[in-house]
Structure 1
């Protein structure tokens, strides 16, 4: 039985994990990250739907359909620093989200230190590598379980 549903959104160039700038992003592919994350989610009675897109409008359309999810994990990639449209989409819905970044965006180029999403998120994980996705998952489950207990 599934207790929770999470929407995982990955933005531009994250399809190149494992091949792109391994000194920053590591050598593990997105497929391997997803496999491990899904195994952890199953143990937690949680279903994850994953979308990776290099197209902003695809991510926005998924956000608009997010009412059926309990939470969103989003790694917006470069859209972090440029997309007011993603921000507006997330503001328009009631689904809480955690922003995840594999690298520490605050320790990189100055333009990467600004996020259009951070101030409206329910948490930010930056610089923990792919472990950030697992931290987001565990944090979300803990929050949803606590919310369920209060009801």
Structure 2
């Protein structure tokens, strides 16, 4: 069986309770279940990691080089997560960056991701549906 890495950064462990008017009411467990549903037809399983510190995310990337691809919501680390960027630069598979909110419709400090130039694609502003779409993209991208 092949694994898909589902990586979520700071404050995403409290989805469903964290500013639902911005991030929605789906919990992280709901997101993990939705991604698992999308990739199950390929016989893939989801390895879900959520960390509030960059070091945990870096370790998760490094420990999952053998996964078929990744879906990454770095949270605020998109802004200055240079260590995470370096880890993802070395990740040998396709990966997609996902954001629940439309970061370009928010504060200006959220308008640039240091990770996006390395990603195979980016989905933002579609809420939890963005994770499903990223999973579908991986299913269609990975040979």
Please state which band the TM-score falls in when normalised by the shorter chain: over 0.9
Task: Report what 1:18 is aligned to.
Answer: 16
Measured after TM superposition, the shift of residue 36 of structure 1 is 2.5
Q: 1:110 aligns with which of 96, 108, 111?
A: 108
CA shift for structure 1 position 126: 0.6
Tell which has more relative contact order, 1 or 2 (C-alpha 8 A, sep 6+). 2
Maintained 8 Å contact 2:7/2:57: yes
Equivalent positions of 1:14-93 (< 5 A) are: 14-93=12-91
Q: May I ask how many residue pairs the two structures share in their alignment?
A: 143
SS of structure 1 residue aligned to 2:65: helix
Q: Tell me the TM-score normalized by structure 2.
A: 0.94
Structure 2: gaps spanning 5 or more residues: none
Counterpart CA distance in 2 for 1:59 and 1:89 is 9
Indicate if the aligned counterparts of 1:66 and 1:95 stay in contact, CA closer than 8 A.
no
Give the structure with the higher percent helix. 1
Q: Secondary structure at the match of 1:9?
A: strand
| Cα shift at 1:93 | 2.7
Q: Considering only CA atoms, is the larger Rg found in Structure 1 or Structure 2?
A: 1
Paired position in structure 2 for 1:101? 99
**Cα shift readout 1:20-50 (whole Å, capped 9, x = no counterpart):** 1111011111112212322332233211100
Deviations 1:41-92 (A, max 9, x none): 2233211100001011011011112221010110000111111111111112
